[in-house]
Amino acid sequence: MALLVQKFGGTSVGTTERIEAVAERICRFRREGHDLVIVVSAMSGETNRLIGLANAIMEEPTPREMDVLVSTGEQVTIALLCMALHKRGCDARSYTGSQVRIVTDSAHTKARIKQIDEENMRADLNAGRVVVVAGFQGIDERGSITTLGRGGSDTTAVALAAALKADECQIYTDVDGVYTTDPRVVEKARRLDRITFEEMIEMASLGSKVLQIRSVEFAGKYNVPLRVLSSFGEGEGTLITLEDDTIMEQPVVSGIAFNRDEAKLTISGVPDTPGVALRILKPVSDANIEVDMIVQNVGADGHTDFTFTVHRNDFKRAREVLDGVARELGAREVTGDNKTVKVSIVGVGMRSHAGVATRMFEALSNEGINIQMISTSEIKISVVIDEKYLELAVRALHTAFDLDKPEAEA
Ligand code: ADP
Ligand code: ASP
Ligand code: MG
């Protein structure tokens, strides 16, 4: 008998039939004697639908009202799931984020959890009830509804598991675990039995949105055992773990992540003087635009080029800002390309292997794929390439790093 926090994502509660199937599964766990706190997302497509309604009225609604609106999606599913549980004779009670008292800061649409009251949940668990909590939402000190960013129900689940010291936090979704790469893109992608927190954080932040990044960071920080599994089938799923020193032969690369939202901007012929990076990038960050990769070329004749990437949604604005900077600095020109993507290989095994980058570049070169930018860290290498090569690049790398084979052979 264990205390489990189980989260069911949008697809898993996408119809009333699926909500009933989730209820069946929960009843089974109850019969086995487990204490359960359930976190649910909105029905799939609902959060996007609500955002669409807001945008039909105005382009930039206030973040506070946006949160009041989008948090309603999860309120629907907690009630429906409790009804489906009651119908099966399973005692359950629903809570919105504010009713639990999941207290966050006031950064609407991307709030961070500060504190969780356990009292209501403990009382229900002690009374033998299943606790059903709306994911993605909280309340700030002033009593305003907040949300945790897209995919935030994962973070709600991990935070509740940490607060309650649950035995495991289980993320039920529409795939049966974390794969070597997105199985929707590469048919040969394989489920991993285990992946380290560090690798999962890189995978998530480099584009594998199977888990919200913050949920993995949170689980790593508070040592919450975290597992990804299927809501539709059975199986052990993928356990996210601390690095295991006992595994002698780590694969060099554990997974391949990609991000289709990358756009590239170059400002050429800027004076190669101290402070130039600041003069280029400060106006960009002042405009609230996040910069991802940055490359400055070696200068020649006292001038240099500077290239960086931003989210595609920010491309137009970033270009306008950069045009202003170019005029001020007397730069030669500004060019941009919003048809680029970032592909990354991730693995703690890279620490102890040489020649990983060469192998990556060779695989891409064999396919005639031009690398536009490169960035590396201890456990990842990312490249920016033309979007038309995305699938080809991911497949080629998947093969080059032996990920097509079953784990035992790799
Ligand atoms: P949920 O609605 O349950 O939160 P998400 O859509 O957020 O589900 O996450 C599951 C999806 O993540 C999968 O359907 C899959 O296409 C995608 N995904 C991307 N990268 C990976 C990966 N490496 N392993 C598994 N799934 C991945
Ligand atoms: N419903 C929210 C979203 O679509 C939160 C979540 O599903 O985790 O982003
Ligand atoms: Mg999700």
DSSP-assigned letters across all residues of 109-175: TS--EEEE--HHHHHHHHTTPEEEEETTEEE-TTS-EEE--TTTHHHHHHHHHHHHT-SEEEEEESS
Q: Which ligand is nearest to the CA of 204?
A: 1
How far is Cα of residue 115 from the mean position of the Cα atoms in its chain? 22
Q: CATH number, domain at 61?
A: 3.40.1160.10
pLDDT given at position 12 = 97
Q: Are 156 and 261 members of one domain?
A: no
Q: Which residue is it, tokens 């809570």?
A: 95
Buried b (16+ CB within 10 A) or exposed e, 177-189: bbbbbbbeebeeb
171 close to 229: Cβ distance less than 8 angstroms:
yes
Partner residues linked to 195 by β-bridges: 240
The upper half-sphere exposure of residue 340, i.e. CA atoms within 13 Å in the direction of its Cβ, equals 24
**∠ CA 114-120-121, rounded to 5°:** 80
> Does the Cβ of 184 fall within 6 Å of ligand 1?
yes
* Number of Cβ atoms within 10 Å of the Cβ of 374: 14
Q: Are 128 and 31 members of one domain?
A: yes
Cα 75 to middle of ligand 2, angstroms: 12
Q: Which of 177, 168, 127, 223 is nearest to 29 (CA)?
A: 168
> For residues 177 and 156, what is the distance between their CA atoms, to the nearest angstrom?
19
Q: Which ligand is nearest to the CA of 171?
A: 1
> Does the Cβ of 8 fall within 6 Å of ligand 2?
no
> For residues 257 and 345, what is the distance between their CA atoms, to the nearest angstrom?
6
Report yes or no on 377 lying in a domain: yes
Atom of ligand 2 nearest to the CA of 154: 8
pLDDT given at position 297 = 83
Cα 296 to middle of ligand 2, angstroms: 37
Q: How far is CA 136 from CA 76, 98, 215, in A?
A: 13, 11, 11
Cα 175 to middle of ligand 1, angstroms: 7
Q: Which residues of the chain have pLDDT under 50?
A: 408-410
Atom of ligand 1 nearest to the CA of 8: 3
Q: How far is CA 134 from CA 14, 72, 154, in A?
A: 15, 9, 11
Domain boundary among 129, 144, 174: 174
Mutation to probe ligand 1, out of 196, 209, 391, 401 (largest number of atoms < 8 A from CB):
209
> Does the Cβ of 340 fall within 6 Å of ligand 2?
no
Domain boundary among 131, 149, 174: 174
155 close to 218: Cβ distance less than 8 angstroms:
yes
148-186 pLDDT tens trace: 999 999 999 999 999 999 999 999 999 999 999 999 999
pLDDT given at position 251 = 83
> For residues 271 and 275, what is the distance between their CA atoms, to the nearest angstrom?
10
Cα 133 to middle of ligand 3, angstroms: 16
Report yes or no on 405 lying in a domain: no
Q: Which ligand is nearest to the CA of 209?
A: 1
Longest dimension (CA), the chain: 79
- Residue spans of alpha helices (H) in 206-314: 213-221, 276-286
Q: Are 14 and 155 members of one domain?
A: yes
Q: CATH number, domain at 285?
A: 3.30.2130.10
Cα 280 to middle of ligand 1, angstroms: 36
Q: Are 49 and 150 members of one domain?
A: yes
> Closest residue (by CA) to atom 10 of ligand 1?
210
Q: Are 151 and 33 members of one domain?
A: yes
> Does the Cβ of 174 fall within 6 Å of ligand 1?
yes
Report yes or no on 221 lying in a domain: no
Amino acid at site 400: A
pLDDT given at position 407 = 57
Amino acid at site 193: D
> Does the Cβ of 150 fall within 6 Å of ligand 2?
yes
Mutation to probe ligand 2, out of 136, 146, 155 (largest number of atoms < 8 A from CB):
136
Q: Are 276 and 168 members of one domain?
A: no
Report yes or no on 237 lying in a domain: no
Range of the domain at 287: 255-400
Q: Which of 158, 141, 194, 109 is nearest to 6 (CA)?
A: 158
Q: Which of 323, 269, 334 is nearest to 300 (CA)?
A: 269
Amino acid at site 336: G
Number of independent structural domains in the chain: 2
Q: How far is CA 94 from CA 37, 75, 131, 290, in A?
A: 10, 9, 6, 37
> Closest residue (by CA) to atom 4 of ligand 2?
47
Domain boundary among 149, 174, 199: 174
Q: Which residue is it, tokens 């390439």?
A: 385
Strands laid side by side in the 102-104 sheet: 113-116, 102-104, 137-139, 145-147
